[in-house]
Amino acid sequence: MNQHARLEDRAIPFIDVAAQRRRLGRAVDDAIARVLAHCQFIQGPEVRALEAALAAFCGARHAIACSSGTDALRLVLMAWGIGPGDAVICPAFTFCATAEVVALCGATPVMADVRPETFNLDPASCERAVTTAKRLGLTPRAVIPVDLFGLPADHDAIAAVAAAHGMLVLDDAAQAFGATYKDRKLGALATATATSFFPAKPLGCYGDGGAIFTDDDELAARLRSLRVHGEGVDKYDAVDIGLTGRLDTLQAAILLEKLKIFPEEIVARERAAARYAAGLAEVVSVPRVGNESNSVWAQYTIRLPPGRRDALASALKAQGIPTGIYYARPLHRQAAYRHFPVADAGLPASERLAAEVISLPMHAYLDEPVQDRIIAAVRRALAD
């Protein structure tokens, strides 16, 4: 390979998992070797150590490691006994797992709209979704705000709507573990918070993984049972219907090493986001961080007037710059979710965002010359 390939000829990763792997080097190799030596592949000591480290990191009383972000969400709904006849309010502009878990429990996801400037659940639409649910004869039991692209939702406003209607709040922080809302880390805010350790997430492992955070002792105990088939005191005397919902010890060992460098990576992501904003704010709509929050920048998502996105994506692709569209279809436009109810007054912001958003490469190892190349390419493409 030509070691001196020109910067402008090198393909740019969208998320550079390999750069982080190089930095971690021996630390991860040694962590994996320790698990291979003790052979406690299920619920080994690294799982307990990771749970303690995650809880300390975000300030929650309990962290319960589990098999994925989707299972984290699902386990909480199962623990709350949510089922047929219940409505759970979710934003329409999110990854499908947010609503999927509701349907898997036999309950009805009711889609609410988002605020275009933050991409996150609109408390006013959440309120209207409660009205919709009641009119349909459903009992609104919970709301799942999503901290989309790493940015915390408007948690105080959503908590107020939830309290007014006796709903529980399950924060879907799959994309946002490490983010801060009014000086508190996600995980310490809602009744329960779910996150994902999918490799592309800000804190990712080398496979599937997730975690739940809560201050509620009873809920934590129930979640620990449900993630192991609803086991009771005796493993072979199930007290509940549960899941194979554990996190592998190997993944916990990897995450323990990654958590050590995570604070530095968050700072690097913030620096990259600030450089994007400085370079692009005058030519496109760049994301705004409101609500006294800090984003962990799972995605850096800009907005363009409808009709201009495809040309930008093609121009960048031709220069080796990948982009992603999160999400081209809101949930209510996808076949599996089309039949679920939507909040009164509809979902205009979700529809508009689906036509306007495009995400640029974002990770903690985005060096300045590469980022300058991306910024220049976006500016050139939009000037044409």
Residues that bind ligand PLP (CB under 6 A): 68-70, 94-95, 97-98, 146, 172, 174-175, 196, 198, 208, 210
Cα distance between residue 186 and residue 145, in whole Å: 12
| Residue with smaller CB distance to ligand PLP, 174 or 370 | 174
CB of 68: closest distance to ligand PLP in angstroms?
3
| Residue with smaller CB distance to ligand PLP, 223 or 378 | 223
Please compute, for residue 192, the number of CA atoms within 13 A of its CA located in the half-sphere on the CB side.
28
CB of 76: closest distance to ligand PLP in angstroms?
12
CB of 217: closest distance to ligand PLP in angstroms?
25
Cα distance between residue 259 and residue 89, in whole Å: 32
Cα distance between residue 339 and residue 324, in whole Å: 27
Cα distance between residue 349 and residue 112, in whole Å: 10
CB of 208: closest distance to ligand PLP in angstroms?
6
Cα distance between residue 88 and residue 92, in whole Å: 12
Q: With beta carbons less than 8 A apart as the criterion, state whether 354 and 93 touch.
A: yes
| Residue with smaller CB distance to ligand PLP, 154 or 370 | 154
| Residue with smaller CB distance to ligand PLP, 69 or 370 | 69
| Residue with smaller CB distance to ligand PLP, 125 or 371 | 125
N-term to C-term CA, the chain: 35
Q: Both tokens of residue 204?
A: 């990712």
| Residue with smaller CB distance to ligand PLP, 151 or 284 | 151
CB of 2: closest distance to ligand PLP in angstroms?
36
User: Phi and psi dihedrals of 254, rounded to 5?
Assistant: -65, -45
Q: Taking CB positions, which residue lies at the least distance from ligand PLP? A: 69
CB of 152: closest distance to ligand PLP in angstroms?
13
Cis status of the peptide bond prior to 327, with omega within 30 of 0: yes
| Residue found under tokens 């939507």 | 342
| Residue with smaller CB distance to ligand PLP, 68 or 323 | 68
Q: By three-state DSSP, how is residue 111 classified?
A: strand
CB of 363: closest distance to ligand PLP in angstroms?
16
CA 272 to chain centre: 19
